[in-house]
Copies of this chain bind each other. A is one copy, B any other.
Amino acid sequence: MNARIAVPLPKAYRLLNHGPTVLVSSAHAGRRNVMAAAWNMALDFDPPKVAVVIDKATLTRELVEASGEFVLNVPSRQQAALTLAVGSESGRECAPAEDKLAKVGAGATAASVVGAPLIDGCLAWLECRVIAEPHIQQTYDLFLAEVVAAWADPAVFSNGRWHFPDQQQRSIHYLSGGTFFATGDAFEVRQP
């Protein structure tokens, strides 16, 4: 597990505001899983809320519905192959003795509030509790959740700001077919 510092909840939206692809980790009754999700966004500032699409076919869906919890982990460019791998195979196909985290070699650390694990080596983590909205969960595979704790690696995020130190330690944005964009240059525009 890398270093992490608490992110004040009213600043948690900044971990997702630039649209990175995330890993959704989950756990219930002794089982755990992780999948990739490009379709995620912030939904509110304070208390912070998020939205994420979790397909009915996934094991993640089953664990999230059963536990009412998940973690959004923001992976780094160094974890792009891991991100593609956990987005490409289903936790349902893993042997009981070797879950998907073990299969892809993802380390995990206990979260502070929720039962879902924090994936080691990520840049930031948002611990989330599902806001029950059965109609949109069922109709659109869309899950809304409140962020109940947030963390970041201080090497890349502190004082409410991302500051990527190099080309590898930065967030990623999935396109399709194994292609990602890295988060690029930061630049500032003057308020009008």
Partner-B contacts on A (CB < 8 A): 14, 17-21, 38-44, 49, 51, 53, 77, 80-81, 83-85, 88-89, 104, 133, 135-136, 140, 142, 144, 160-162, 167, 170, 173-176, 178-192
> Which residue of B43, B85, B175, B190 contacts A186 across the interface (Cβ within 8 Å)?
B175
Q: A116 to chain B: closest CB distance in Å?
A: 21
Given contacts A19-B21, A182-B184, 9 further A-B contacts (CB under 8 A): A18-B173, A44-B140, A84-B192, A133-B135, A135-B135, A162-B175, A162-B181, A173-B173, A182-B185
User: Do residues B142 and A43 form an inter-chain contact, with CB atoms below 8 A?
Assistant: yes
Q: A41 to B38, alpha carbons, bound, how many Å?
A: 8
